[in-house]
Structure 1
Amino acid sequence: MDILTIVGLVVAFGGIIGGMLEEGGHIGSLLNTAAFIIVFGGTIGAVLIQMPMDAFKRALSRSKWAFMPPKIPMQETIEKIVGWSNIARKEGLLRLEDHIQQEPDPFASKALQLLVDGKEPEEIRHILEMDLGIREETDMQAMGFYDGLGGYAPTIGIIGAVLGLIHVMGNLADPSKLGGGIAAAFVATIYGLVLANVFALPMGNKIKSVIKKQTRLGELIIEGVIAIAHGENPRNIESRLQGFIIK
């Protein structure tokens, strides 16, 4: 569980609602079914128009990362690679074949397979970097869902406000309804801004940070496997890979 996401949501909503109450407002003034339907329905619909189905499904599957990001085992992977290096130096690359099926990370498993197959270091690098780049590009494309929510929500909120004001203008003959109608109209704008700036953009950026960390882990694996292919000393490999860990 990422405690900062929870704390951030509590602080954001606490600040917004607390400030409104401090000014004499009340929570009931923020509840408007029509504005909710316009903003949330319109925003999600607009995002769906721009996205392919596979990217949309990927975005939904990654949404949990904002609250429960996957573990990025940088130090554990370094230790694992150093272990592989020791085995390769003492017993040969073929001995690493036993570790391929045991490796839970598909990317690391593929790297090991290429190493055991005797591929040239530059060929290994080319294959793995291409795979890593495609994975990162695919994940970032899925993040267009959150960027789209953050981009469209404020505009759809303004549309909701304008629609509300049109309704208000139709009741000019009854001044008693103007104040409440105008206030309700601007609720849509609030919904749009909150959806974009409290949910969509922060969550999208949190998930993007996880994707970047996963990419860094992949780069670490590539450098480690290439170093093993070159027959480098395990101590040197460990020292080099430690540079991937940001402290």
Structure 2
Amino acid sequence: MDLAFLLGILLAFGSVGASVVLDRATFGGLLLPAPIILVFGATVFVGLAGGTVSDAISAFSAIPKALKGKKPDFQGTVDKLVELADIVRHSSLIKLEEQAETIPDPFFKTALLGAADGTDSEELRGQLEEEIHTQSRGAKAAAKFFQTLGGYAPTIGIVGTVVSLTHVLENLSSPSKLGPMIASAFVATLWGLLSANFIWLPIAARMRRLNELEHERMNLIVEGVLHIQAGLSARALGERLRPLVPAGKAKKGKGKSGADE
């Protein structure tokens, strides 16, 4: 599991907690059930109203994958493609069908089987790019849902504050109660801002980033498989693919990367 998201969120909330302690305030004044329920509940329901039930279900179902944050193995993908190029060069494209059975990634397997079947390169590219588009569209929809929640939450927090301030105005005859009541009224705004910037927007940003990385890995597979189908040597393939690896994701080549032409 990639701890970046959980660590970032915990440290963000920890910073708020440290601020509370340094200001000698109390956590009890912030953890009020009514504004928290209003902000989180209304935000999700308004987000649901702006889309469909299936959008919401798909978006929340994608959270575990986003939290797990399994980053694509670009170097491993390049090494595998170079290895396959070497195998094909010493035998034939038919070998890709056998190799495909050892690969758990459905997209990679589909690409290899298409090349092994002798599918025209342009047709195969079109099929694979359409599959990439379909996969990417689902991830973007989930990210957009949480982006929308992040937009609604602060406004809903203000709504909660206005509701509470209305109650404050009803009790002007009790000056001793006004201070605590006004303080409580602004808790809704606080949770609107916190939920948007500490939860919904980071989830959306993380989903978008993971989708971008996976998109790049799938494009790497497409280029690699098409070059293998065209008969490119293992060494030349490695040199062709490594510039496509995102900055910071490349490592020193190994294994078949240096295979003979």
TM-score of the pair, normalised by structure 2: 0.90
Please list the CA deviations of residues 122-162 of structure 1 after superposition, one character each: whole Å capped at 9, or x if unmatched. Answer: 11111111110121111101112210221111000000000
Deviations, residues 93-133 of structure 1 (Å, cap 9, x unaligned): 11211122322111111101110111111111111111101
Matches within 5 A, 1:1-247: 1-245=1-245, 246-247=247-248
How many Å apart are 1:32 and its aligned residue?
1.3
Percent of pairs identical after alignment?
36
Alpha-carbon offset, residue 186 of structure 1: 0.4
Distance in 2 (CA, whole Å) between partners of 1:52 and 1:86 is: 49
- Cα distance between partner residues in 1 of 2:52 and 2:102: 35
Distance 2:180 2:226 in 1: 68
- CA deviations on 1:145-190 (whole Å, 9 max, x unpaired) are 2102211110000000000001111111211221111111100000
Q: In structure 2, what residue type is equivalent to 1:211?
A: N
Higher helix share: 1
Q: CA, structure 1 residues 177+146, in 2 after alignment: closer, same or farther (shift >3 Å)? A: same
- Aligned to 2:176, the other structure's residue is in SS state helix
Tell me how far apart the structure 2 counterparts of residues 21 and 166 of structure 1 sit (CA, whole Å).
30
Structure 1 stretch 1-10 or stretch 196-205: which is displaced more?
Answer: 1-10
Distance of 1:232 and 1:4 partners within structure 2 = 39
Distance 2:233 2:179 in 1: 76
CA distance in 2 between counterparts of 1:99 and 1:43 reads 48
1:238 CA drift (Å): 0.9
Corresponding letter in the other structure for 2:244: F
Are 1:55 and 1:138, in contact at CA under 8 Å, matched by a contact in 2?
Answer: no
Is the 1:35–1:188 contact (alpha carbons within 8 Å) kept by the matching residues of 2? yes
Would you say the 8 A contact 1:149–1:195 is kept in 2?
A: no
Q: TM-score normalised to the size of structure 1?
A: 0.94
8 Å CA contact 2:111–2:222 kept in 1: the answer is yes
**Matched residue of 1:67: which SS?**
helix
Calculate the aligned-residue CA RMSD, in Å: 1.5
Alpha-carbon distance, 1:25 to partner: 1.4
CA contact (8 A) 2:168 2:178 kept: yes
Number of residue pairs matched?
247
Gaps in structure 2 of 5+ consecutive residues: 249-261
CA contact (8 A) 2:142 2:204 kept: no
| Residue deviations 1:2-29 (CA, integer Å, cap 9, x gap) | 2322332232122212112222311111
User: Quick one: distance in 1 between partners of 2:56 and 2:88?
Assistant: 42
The answer (yes or no) to whether the contact 1:65–1:210 under 8 Å persists in 2 is: no
